[in-house]
Structure 1
Amino acid sequence: MARKILVIDNENLVADICRISLGKFGHEVFCAMSGEQAVLMADNINFDLAIVNKRLEGISGIEAFEMIRQSNPTLAGILVTAHASLDTVIEAMNNGFSRVCKKPIDVRELVQAVSETLKIACLREDITRMKTLLPLYDLSERFFAAESEQAVYEELADAVMREVDVPCVSVMMFDIPSGTLKVVAHRGLKAEFVDNLEIKPGEQIAGRVFQSSVPIILNRTSQYLSPYSDLLKRKELSAAISFPIVSRGKVLGVLNISETRDGNEFSEADIEMLSIITSQAMMALENVRFIREREENSRIRALLEQYVSPEVSHLLMERNQDLLEVGSVQELTVLFADIRNFTLLVQHLPPEQLRIFLNSFFELFAQIVFSCQGMLDKFMGDAALVIFGAPVKTDNPCVAAVTAAIRIMKGFEQLRLFWSEKDQIFEKVGLGIGISRGPMFLGNVGSSKRLDYTVIGADVNIAQRLASETSSGQILITDRVHNHLGEQFPVRIDSNRWLRGMESEVTVYSLSIDETEG
């Protein structure tokens, strides 16, 4: 791994040897001719290793190394001296140096010393990182206990305050309707400052971080080095970080932390810590959204299966069609079934017995409708409305509707005969079915508090009127339905009828259950 190496030596030969021999290994070598120059360079560059000549004019090499390590405590060091005595080695170790090399420098010895020193430095960095970061992984238990998105955001704000030890935190998430970042959780900030705060992508620090997906560190002492320095306007802040909140490669928001205590600054270690905390928060957020989506899908599936078969419901869910938002005018076929002389049953049977009969019929009815890929719109006392052609497309909705009508008629007749053995009143009961086709609206109808997924159109009324005019065991269809049937069914023309509420005659065809036997 390429590293940044600072050579502090007043001899050009040493600088050249280090630059050439270490540059071959990909290291970036910087040279300072004095301790003062080295300290200034270290203010702007984070070095991994310093190769230091003990004897320098002005600030000694050891003093310069100590000064640099105050702001960069992980800096490793190799001391170069012409007098490598035991006392010198002890002094070097006491001042944080890992190795001592004797002048004149042997290139092979230097390369080996640098390699070993950097390996030790890497191990120390890993150990320090593990000690610092391992406790953060225990945060997952807290995050995954959250039962809502808001609870995840609140725990994220708490975790950052607790683990990073900062006085001010804000969690901003992108709000799609407004197209802005909004604060969803905060700590240490006044409510009036954040409640109405909206930042567009590209605006201010948070907006730029959201747009670029690159975190920004601003420290007051080195603020002038940042292209974003003009954005750190609040005088009470000594440091700030804006960190992108990312899930599955997509930026969802921005986490902002700020420091108001003098002398406290942020570093790459804080970025790494925020990365771990936010990644765990986003895993918890995905979990919450997955559970919510699963529950919503279960709710929609249960709702769908009141209208269509489980197989059709599964097909619609796989297509990801949100039926609660769908609404359009379509060419559809509707079937309306009406129990004839139902009033006699109401007057003659106890309510509980009437309920049992209706449940038996509607169970039979629903099974047949679903098997023919129809959508059961609703039961209405002694009647039922069915849609063919949507939301699942069929090759010929009219054929499906007539097939279902014939099977329903036969099933009802068997049910009627069964109940006739219990009560003769059922001998006077029959079933009539009307089928029509035409353009109609299919979708949600109602208010925000009560929606009904249904069909509206003139042909819905026509099917209902036809059913009310049938004789028991009769199926009446319109000419539009007839035109789609071909020769599959024994259909005969009935008549042109003036149906109640219609402004013109309707051409009607009929089928009877007896004509469809065999």
Structure 2
Amino acid sequence: MPPRKILVVNDESFISDMSRNALGDIGLEVYCVPKGEQAVEMAMDMHFDLAIVDYLLPGMTGVEAFDIMRQADPGIAGILVADNNNQNMLVEAMNIGFSGFLQKPIDSSALVDAVLKSLSAAGLRDENTRLKILLPLYKLGEKFIAAGSMGEVYELLLEAISLQIDAPSISMMMYDEDEKCLHVVASRGMDQNVVGEVSVKSGEKIAGWVFEHGEPIIFNRQTQAQSPLAQYLLRDEISASISFPLVGREKILGVLNISQTSKEVEYCQSDIEMLSAICGQAVMALENVAYMKERERHVRTKALFEQYVAPEVAEILLSSGKSLLEIGGVEEISILFADIRNFTVAVQHLSHYNIHCFLTQFFDLFSEVAFSWKGTLDKFMGDAALVAFGAPISIEAPSDSAVNTAVELSQKFEQLRFKWLEKHAVFEQLGLGIGVSRGEVFLGNVGSSRRLDYTVIGTEVNIVQRLASSARSGHILITESVYKDLNGRFPLKKEEARKLRGVEHDVKLYSIQADLVKLS
């Protein structure tokens, strides 16, 4: 805990020196000035716990000086030092806030005793005040925690301030990241037509200065002329005001403004402390609501993404910190394309309901197998689908994963086909052609901000589509680049090089018979 600050206002060097030594010895931080004007100026810039003021000073009297200091900081305690204990003088002193009296001549023990009593009494008053507000603040905290929207937090904050601080006019301003300015989001005691027009940039006017610097400002009519921001005080009817920053964990969220027109009311440090306690809870509630909304959005988006890509891929895309349009680039990956053979003919003999049910079961099977081997499902195209391996998630042996996926798909497709063959003979004609290749492609988001497609573009895509359309059911065609990656780990048969439509050069091919492969 920092040392308590004592201000000694006395033009007698003996008393100043004694105070500095005696009070310094008990751990107090002592400042001494000879004139009331100097004391007032110093008290404007620094908070003192106690002022020891001589009644007779050159210039303004000690009582006058302390009166001004109390107006600026009502929390300061005071001890009056005088040659006699004139009753009228003591009554005047007590009325303006002095809590102790020392009659000259004074000695160090009497001084220390009076100071400790005054500080103890002031501390007790502060503690009682804090206890009076502790329970309401605790209950307020419970309400803030339960808030489910920003608007609910705004209203709770205004209600709390109305109950705890004398403030007939309150406005809450939040920073709009898009418009780069502060707007009023909630208010009390303000003209609603004016509220809608308020727009303050960072650093502009009083609220903008508070937002930019993150420091609160108090204006009271008695002292506001001394502020460098006095030029922005345009409403003569306002006698006191506070602008308080709403400081979050990583940035300043906005500014709270309160004002008073009654000349009898002035704001002080204790009001700042109260605002700090209330606004601190409000800021935590705002950040909690924002977090919950963002988490909810993230979960919804992730669930949507997981319909197209593996959960791990969805997490990478969402946590990259980039705009979704910026995600993508040229990658060397392995690609699988699978196409249901003769499905166009089968469709003519099946009901729409059966077509829907069969394709749903096939694509559920396809997705489950592809995701289990860390594949990124690019898209479904009617009765076909494309899967990428090796990006955006880097995996070991992407070609192995692609071929394992192809083998498992082929085997499980046969199981699905036999199941449906019991319902309709047309499934005898169906088969699954699969092609796998490896090479450089563009993998990423393509489209506009309103409609994105996470896809693969490149020659290898064209190649695997051609391979799937020409592969016999139960067989997987792979290119030479995939063959080299496999390094003999699968039973392979070399095929004749083929000229594929849309590909300038002959493509060297190998085939794998799926039912001869035993997956581990």
Alignment TM-score > 0.5, same fold: yes
Report the TM-score when normalising by structure 2.
0.82
Following the alignment from structure 2 to structure 1, what is the Cα–Cα distance between the partners of residues 318 and 38?
68
**Residue of structure 1 in register with 2:429 after alignment:** 428
Change (3 A) 1:350 1:466: same
Superposed displacement of residue 243, structure 1: 1.7
**Residue of structure 1 in register with 2:381 after alignment:** 380
Contact 2:4-2:49 at 8 Å conserved across structures: no
Following the alignment from structure 1 to structure 2, what is the Cα–Cα distance between the partners of residues 100 and 484?
95
Following the alignment from structure 1 to structure 2, what is the Cα–Cα distance between the partners of residues 378 and 26?
74
More displaced 10-residue stretch of structure 1: 412-421 or 70-79: 70-79
The one-letter code of the counterpart of 1:495 is A
Q: How does 1:31-46 map to 2 (within 5 A)?
A: none
More displaced 10-residue stretch of structure 1: 444-453 or 251-260: 444-453
Q: How does 1:5-84 map to 2 (within 5 A)?
A: 5-7=7-9, 13-24=14-25, 25-30=27-32, 48-51=49-52, 74-78=75-79
Change (3 A) 1:61 1:153: closer
Superposed displacement of residue 163, structure 1: 3.7
User: Does residue 299 of structure 2 align to residue 298 of structure 1?
Assistant: yes
**Residue of structure 2 in register with 1:218 after alignment:** 219
Superposed displacement of residue 148, structure 1: 2.8
Q: What are the Cα deviations for residues 358-391 of structure 1, in whole angstroms up to 9, with x where unaligned?
A: 3443333222211211012233332222122222
**Residue of structure 2 in register with 1:335 after alignment:** 336
Contact 1:23-1:29 at 8 Å conserved across structures: no
Change (3 A) 1:158 1:66: closer
Superposed displacement of residue 255, structure 1: 2.3
Contact 2:325-2:449 at 8 Å conserved across structures: no
Following the alignment from structure 2 to structure 1, what is the Cα–Cα distance between the partners of residues 427 and 280?
68
Q: How does 1:66-465 map to 2 (within 5 A)?
A: 74-78=75-79, 98-99=99-100, 101=102, 103-132=104-133, 134-187=135-188, 188-189=190-191, 191-192=193-194, 195=197, 197-200=199-202, 202-248=203-249, 250-310=251-311, 313=314, 326-420=327-421, 423-446=424-447, 448-465=449-466
Q: What are the Cα deviations for residues 422-451 of structure 1, in whole angstroms up to 9, with x where unaligned?
A: 544333221101234444443334555544
Superposed displacement of residue 311, structure 1: 5.4
More displaced 10-residue stretch of structure 1: 208-217 or 354-363: 354-363
Q: What are the Cα deviations for residues 473-493 of structure 1, in whole angstroms up to 9, with x where unaligned?
A: 232334444454443341413
Superposed displacement of residue 276, structure 1: 1.5
Following the alignment from structure 1 to structure 2, what is the Cα–Cα distance between the partners of residues 324 and 308?
17
**Residue of structure 2 in register with 1:507 after alignment:** 507
Following the alignment from structure 2 to structure 1, what is the Cα–Cα distance between the partners of residues 321 and 278?
33
Q: What is the number of equivalent residue pairs in this alignment? A: 512
Following the alignment from structure 1 to structure 2, what is the Cα–Cα distance between the partners of residues 404 and 476?
13
Secondary structure at 1:195 match in 2: coil
The one-letter code of the counterpart of 1:138 is K
Superposed displacement of residue 337, structure 1: 0.9
More displaced 10-residue stretch of structure 1: 144-153 or 383-392: 144-153
User: Does residue 4 of structure 2 align to residue 2 of structure 1?
Assistant: yes
Contact 1:6-1:47 at 8 Å conserved across structures: no
Superposed displacement of residue 286, structure 1: 1.5
The one-letter code of the counterpart of 2:5 is R
Following the alignment from structure 1 to structure 2, what is the Cα–Cα distance between the partners of residues 509 and 37?
95
Following the alignment from structure 2 to structure 1, what is the Cα–Cα distance between the partners of residues 191 and 506?
72
- What root-mean-square deviation, in Å, do the aligned CA atoms of Structure 1 and Structure 2 show? 4.0
Contact 2:500-2:507 at 8 Å conserved across structures: no
Following the alignment from structure 2 to structure 1, what is the Cα–Cα distance between the partners of residues 482 and 66?
94
Following the alignment from structure 2 to structure 1, what is the Cα–Cα distance between the partners of residues 91 and 242?
39
Q: What are the Cα deviations for residues 43-70 of structure 1, in whole angstroms up to 9, with x where unaligned?
A: 8876543546679999997898778767
Contact 2:338-2:384 at 8 Å conserved across structures: yes
Secondary structure at 2:222 match in 1: helix
Change (3 A) 1:503 1:400: closer
Superposed displacement of residue 118, structure 1: 0.9
Change (3 A) 1:420 1:62: closer
Residue identity (%) = 47
Contact 1:406-1:516 at 8 Å conserved across structures: no
Superposed displacement of residue 216, structure 1: 1.8
Q: Tell me, which stretches of 5 or more residues in structure 2 are unaligned?
A: none
Q: Tell me, which stretches of 5 or more residues in structure 1 are unaligned?
A: none
Contact 1:345-1:354 at 8 Å conserved across structures: no
Following the alignment from structure 1 to structure 2, what is the Cα–Cα distance between the partners of residues 318 and 287?
19
Following the alignment from structure 2 to structure 1, what is the Cα–Cα distance between the partners of residues 500 and 58?
115
Following the alignment from structure 2 to structure 1, what is the Cα–Cα distance between the partners of residues 104 and 351?
113
Report the TM-score when normalising by structure 1.
0.82
Superposed displacement of residue 332, structure 1: 3.4
The one-letter code of the counterpart of 1:347 is Q
Superposed displacement of residue 7, structure 1: 4.6
Following the alignment from structure 1 to structure 2, what is the Cα–Cα distance between the partners of residues 38 and 305?
69
Q: What are the Cα deviations for residues 48-93 of structure 1, in whole angstroms up to 9, with x where unaligned?
A: 43546679999997898778767765554446577789x9999799
Superposed displacement of residue 194, structure 1: 5.4
Contact 1:4-1:46 at 8 Å conserved across structures: no
Contact 2:476-2:514 at 8 Å conserved across structures: no
